[in-house]
């Protein structure tokens, strides 16, 4: 039985995707650093390998592998800015090593290997469009020139993967530029805009929007992200090889999003949440409005889940105590806080 390799499989998206793959009867191999101490229950079709793609025997991970979902790497601006060398190694070097090993395996064994790369819509941000509330809709065909540490490395990773495809005809990559993810997951994160807004609504009954709140953000429910990966895993490779797809449900201005979350909670949970703007600091001008129609037109996939259901699910989980008594101060739910703590203990090389 062919194996699906999921790197970063115990992370936010991976913790949902791996469980879905197992439910579908697939054989799954997870490779993860286990920095965030997440895990799975033992399963006869699941193999979990604790390893760092920067240093491990990458080729040895590919035995029997037909498809790779590459989720591993640093996953936001704060972690990338805090540890730029680690960011470059994890997002670019490790991706290059894995893609090259997969390409070589296709040539050696004469078979296709599918490679799905988790990229980001933040590659569309550059200072030239910062603060433009009427920013143009960004499509996959437009040139990108990201300047932030995180988005630069994700774009470089895209380039590395596409270059491997040029050398190995049986290596079949697809690049998925995801909007900001939201929603419940076994390995929860509260450092993403929808999730943290719900946390603050629950703990403070107040949402604070820094600056004008006019910046645009493309959003994507975690279940839609997982469904997109599943959709692409069984799509004919000739339709998706070396293609780039934006994955977006809807674009929101940050201030609009805060008011919408407050309204959802008032209507459905009877909770009054105050929305305030804090103009005391610098305005966050990172703004990008992303068009997600290509994947619908080309492959028939549409990200359909909105914010409302996710907001209520996260709220109810907080009410049940699923994340402990004080999740706002629990380092496990915030990537940058956890990374700083680990580096202080010298647990991350």
Residues contacting 304, CB < 8 A, separation 6+: 224, 249
71 lies in some domain: yes
Write out pLDDT tens, residues 22-53.
999 999 999 999 887 777 999 999 999 999 99
- Answer yes or no: are the C-beta atoms of 61 and 9 closer than 8 Å: no
CA torsion sign for 91, 92, 94, 95 is positive
Mark out the alpha helices in the chain (DSSP H runs): 14-23, 77-82, 84-88, 94-109, 149-167, 193-204, 222-233, 237-240, 254-269, 293-299, 307-320, 335-344
Tokens of 265: 């909670």
Confidence of residue 344 (pLDDT cuts 50, 70, 90): confident
200 lies in some domain: no
- Looking at per-residue pLDDT, the higher value among 214 and 97 belongs to 97
Q: 3-class DSSP state for residue 328? A: helix
Q: Which CATH number fits the domain that encloses residue 170?
A: 3.40.50.720
347 lies in some domain: no
150 lies in some domain: yes
Measure Cα distances from 40 to 24, 37, 47, 140 in Å: 16, 10, 10, 35
Nearest in space to 30 (alpha carbons), one of 74, 64, 72: 72
Query: What pTM was estimated for this model as a whole?
Result: 0.95
Number of domains in the chain: 1
Instruction: Give Cα 206 distance to the centre of its chain.
Output: 27
Q: 3-class DSSP state for residue 289? A: strand
99 lies in some domain: yes
Residues contacting 88, CB < 8 A, separation 6+: 153
334 lies in some domain: no
**What is the Cα–Cα distance from 207 to 260, expressed in whole angstroms?**
11
Residue 159, domain extent: 3-184+219-250+290-305
Write out pLDDT tens, residues 104-126.
999 999 999 999 999 999 999 87
pLDDT confidence of residue 345: 78
Instruction: Give Cα 82 distance to the centre of its chain.
Output: 19
343 lies in some domain: no
**What is the Cα–Cα distance from 253 to 216, expressed in whole angstroms?**
4
**What is the Cα–Cα distance from 148 to 225, expressed in whole angstroms?**
23
- Answer yes or no: are the C-beta atoms of 146 and 123 closer than 8 Å: yes
335 lies in some domain: no
């Amino acid at each position: 039985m062919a194996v699906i390799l999921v790197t970063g499989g115990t992370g936010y998206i991976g913790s949902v995707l791996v469980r879905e793959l197992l439910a579908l009867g697939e054989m799954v191999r997870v490779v993860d650093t286990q920095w965030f101490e997440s895990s799975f229950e033992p399963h006869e079709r699941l193999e979990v390998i604790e390893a760092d793609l920067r240093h491990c025997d990458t080729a040895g991970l590919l035995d029997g592998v037909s498809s790779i979902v590459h989720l591993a790497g640093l996953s936001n601006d704060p972690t990338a800015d805090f540890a730029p060398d680690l960011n470059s190694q994890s997002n670019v070097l490790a991706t290059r090593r894995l893609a090259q090993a997969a390409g070589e395996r296709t040539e050696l064994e004469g078979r296709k290997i599918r490679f799905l790369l988790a990229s980001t819509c933040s590659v569309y941000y550059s200072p030239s469009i910062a603060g433009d509330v009427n920013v143009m809709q960004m499509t996959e065909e437009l040139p990108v020139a990201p300047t932030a540490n995180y988005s630069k490395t994700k774009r470089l990773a895209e380039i590395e993967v596409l270059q491997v495809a040029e050398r190995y005809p049986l290596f079949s990559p697809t690049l998925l530029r995801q909007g900001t993810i939201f929603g419940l997951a076994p390995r929860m994160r509260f450092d993403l805009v929808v999730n943290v807004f719900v946390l603050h609504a629950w703990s403070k009954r107040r949402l604070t929007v820094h600056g004008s709140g006019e910046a645009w953000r493309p959003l994507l429910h975690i279940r839609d992200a997982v469904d997109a990966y599943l959709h692409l895993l069984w799509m004919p490779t000739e339709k998706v090889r070396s293609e780039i797809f934006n994955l977006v449900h809807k674009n929101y201005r940050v201030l609009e999003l805060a008011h919408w979350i407050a309204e959802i909670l008032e209507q459905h949970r009877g909770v009054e949440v105050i929305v305030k703007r804090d103009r005391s600091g610098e305005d966050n001008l990172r703004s990008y409005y992303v068009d997600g129609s290509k994947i619908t037109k080309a492959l028939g996939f549409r990200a359909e889940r909105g914010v409302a259901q996710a907001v209520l699910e996260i709220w109810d989980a907080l009410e049940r105590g699923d994340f402990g008594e004080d999740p706002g101060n629990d380092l496990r739910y915030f990537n940058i806080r956890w990374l700083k703590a680990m580096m202080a203990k010298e647990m991350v090389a």
